[in-house]
Amino acid sequence: MSLQRPFLKLIVAAFLLLVTFSLPLHAQEQRPAADLTDEAELLERLAGADKAEAAHLDRQLQALWRKSGSSAMDLLLRRGRDAIEVGDADAALEHLTALTDHAPDFAEGWHARASVYFEKEMYGPAVSDLERALFLNPNNYNAIFGLGTILETFEDYDRAFDAYQRALTIHPHHEDVLQAVERVKTKVDGQAL
């Protein structure tokens, strides 16, 4: 009997370890959208989401894309965005240029600086920064939308429409893109006639 009892204790201990290590895996499989941090999974869910869930997933993607991996670079992005919000394009450009200089592989820095260039009507640098942002993160539907907006500004409606359509394949409920598609669609359809 004494030989069986230690053996039984080992079996019970092994079973408890198995259950303990299995719980986090099961919880991870069932996690709600609020806990997702995997970009590919968020994008996949966004493509098939309803409008309410799409807004939630969009916020998660934006939060994920704003993380550079460096608190100093995140601070530069935040300062640049704060300057944009108060209308100080020059300060925003300084912060965001420092960001792109020090973190050239951080797509959101390029995207944010492109927004400032667009506001200053510096379209060449804006397109260049969007090109870099999309090279680093081809799924950034806001950068694709920005490119479409610049193309629309230059009345290149066909390519603007294509850019907007590309953004909608990633984020089908993006309000600004949906409005742009409707606006440009009439110009593209009118050209075909």
Give the tens place of pLDDT for each residue, 108-128. 999 999 999 999 999 999 999
Radius of gyration over alpha carbons of the chain, in Å? 24
pLDDT at position 5? 52
Give the tens place of pLDDT for each residue, 70-105. 999 999 999 999 999 999 999 999 999 999 999 999
pLDDT at position 22? 38
| pLDDT over 90, % of the chain | 76
Residue 89 and residue 78 in contact, taking contact as beta carbons nearer than 8 Å: no
Q: What is the pTM of this model?
A: 0.78
Average pLDDT, the chain: 85
Residue 184 and residue 152 in contact, taking contact as beta carbons nearer than 8 Å: yes
pLDDT at position 182? 94
Domains in the chain: ranges and CATH? 69-138 (1.25.40.10)
Res. 144: pLDDT tops 50: yes
Q: How far apart are CA 50 and CA 71, in angstroms?
A: 34
